[in-house]
Structure 1
Amino acid sequence: MSDPNEVYEAVLSQLKSARSRKSLEALHEVCQEHHSSGAVDFRIATIAKLGDNRGVPSAQTIRNKTGEPYRALIDAWQALGDQKKKEIKGRMTPSGKYDWVDDLGNPTHRYLVLDLIAQVRHLRAENKGFASIKKLEIDCRSGSEVAVESQLPNFLSHELDALKEAISDEFLMRQGWVRGERGSIKDQNGKVIFRNGFVDIIEKVLSLKHV
């Protein structure tokens, strides 16, 4: 798997046009931000949309014969995205409990849900650790709030939209699911799809201050 930064430098050195070099730089920056957010979808249409008004070429331009340098860079970033997909699937339980996720039609939503499941499991593990803390010291000095906010991840708008859809009434109705009393999600037979707190954690994420 090629390092996107190395591919970027190699492609950049081959471009003679200042305009093409600037477009490649903008595309690389958008892909870096997208990857840093935890995204796995680096399709041409996705990157072109994210880079709209930022100097990234249109999807059609990238697909054209002259767009080969841009496609080479996007392919390198997509390879990283594919690697993350494998890591996300590797963190899933082997019992087949979440096999239904593969039935989601939208691949972006599918992997966002898988990633969310992994994050929920991680948060649950952290909560168990917090439960063992007997004494908590809070620093109320000026600047502490800014420090906390600066640690928040940078959620992209389409990622937030995917989370909203995951717990929306319309989506649950299409799947034949319902919300449980304590934030769980169950199927039409009452079988638990997501355990208690699933809806709650998504709503907490959506309530954070996003930049």
Structure 2
Amino acid sequence: MSDPTEIYEAIQNQLKSVRSRKSLEAVHTVCQDLHDSGAVDFRIATISKLGANRGVPSAQTIRNKTGAPYRTLIGAWQAIGDKKRKEIKGRITPTGKYDWVDDVGNPTHRYLILDLIAQVRHLKAENRGFASIQKLEIDYRPQSDATEESQLPNILNHELAALKEAISDDFLKRQGWVRGERGNIMDQSGKVIFRNGFLDVIEKLLSLRTK
């Protein structure tokens, strides 16, 4: 059994202390939020710091003998983070060109850099494919635009204004929220409020309706 949720539920059934069960739940929630944000760093110090105000035990408590249930759960989440990091790194040919990435100290930053490198390589490959096209046919018939337009929802002006306000810097600041690097929204403690892509899809929708 390697799924963190299954491990969490199994450990919960074994714990007798209500306090321990609540602490384990807090650890699981923080790890889930980290995973949803695209992070790959599930070290004890990281989990303890992010969950300090959410019921997560201190790093020392987790490392103590009695912290074995927490370490087991965190280990399951770290295994997922390690797998994700290897998948991204595996998409980059080990020619030595990107060896410098290994010198980046923060594991999450290393993952993000490798992810960007992989995306750039993919885009370059697509560009080479486009460059090989000898003849390009473009359909200028107006009905194609009408069909595309008809597929878009009919959004009223006041609804557009509400969407703009929902992702405005002033609104986020008043809520104590910040923009994430992957289009998500988090609070000041790092808890994910809206998942990856939330900002991106709203901005895309706004751009379509304002053309």
For normalisation by structure 1, the TM-score amounts to 0.61
- Which residue of structure 2 aligns with residue 154 of structure 1? 184
Q: Is the 8 A contact 2:40 2:107 kept in 1?
A: no
CA contact (8 A) 1:23 1:57 kept: yes
For residues 110-125 of structure 1, the aligned pairs below 5 Å read: 110-122=110-122
User: What does 1:33-112 align with in structure 2 at a 5 Å threshold?
Assistant: 33-112=33-112
Q: 1:112 to 1:8 in 2, by over 3 A?
A: same
Gaps of 5+ in 1: 161-204
Residue 156 of structure 1 deviates from its aligned partner by 5.7
8 Å contact kept, 1:37–1:153: no
* Partner Cα distance (1:53, 1:31) in 2: 14
1:141 equivalenced with 2:154 (yes/no): yes
- C-alpha distance in 2 between matches for 1:156 and 1:120: 27
Q: How many residues align?
A: 158
**Residue type of the alignment partner of 2:74:** I
How large is the Cα RMSD of the aligned pairs?
3.8
Q: Deviations over 1:89-133 (max 9, x none)?
A: 111134332121112233332222112322444566788999x99
Paired amino acid for 1:80: I
| Separation of aligned partners in 2, 1:61 and 1:21 | 15
Post-superposition Cα deviations, 1:63-83, rounded to whole Å, max 9, x if no partner, equal 111111100100010111111
Report the Cα distance in structure 1 between the residues aligned to 2:185 and 2:127, rounded to whole angstroms.
Answer: 22
Aligned residue runs from structure 1 range 159-174, under 5 A? none
TM-score (structure 2 length as normaliser): 0.61
Q: Separation in 2 of the partners of 1:157 and 1:125?
A: 37
Aligned partner of 2:9 in structure 1 is 9
- Structure 2 residue runs without a partner (length 5+): 131-135, 139-143, 168-181, 191-199, 204-211
Distance change (3 Å), C-alpha of 1:140 and 1:122:
farther
Q: Indicate how the Cα distance of structure 1 residues 86 and 55 shifts in structure 2: closer, same or farther if over 3 A, else same.
A: same
C-alpha deviation, 1:52, in angstroms: 2.1
Matched residues in 2 for 1:70 and 1:12: separation? Answer: 11
CA deviation vs aligned residue, 1:11-59 (integer Å, no higher than 9, x gap) = 1011111111111111111111111222111000111112121111111
Aligned equivalents of 1:3 and 1:84: distance in 2? Answer: 14
Amino acid at match of 1:103: D
2:109 and 2:63 map into 1 onto residues whose CA distance is 24
Amino acid of the structure 2 residue aligned with 1:141: N
Show CA shifts across 1:113-170 (max 9, x none).
112322444566788999x996764537326895xx8xx7426689x9xxxxxxxxxx
**Cα pair 1:85 1:111 within 8 Å, conserved:** yes
Match of 2:27 in 1: 27
Which residue is equivalent to 2:170? none
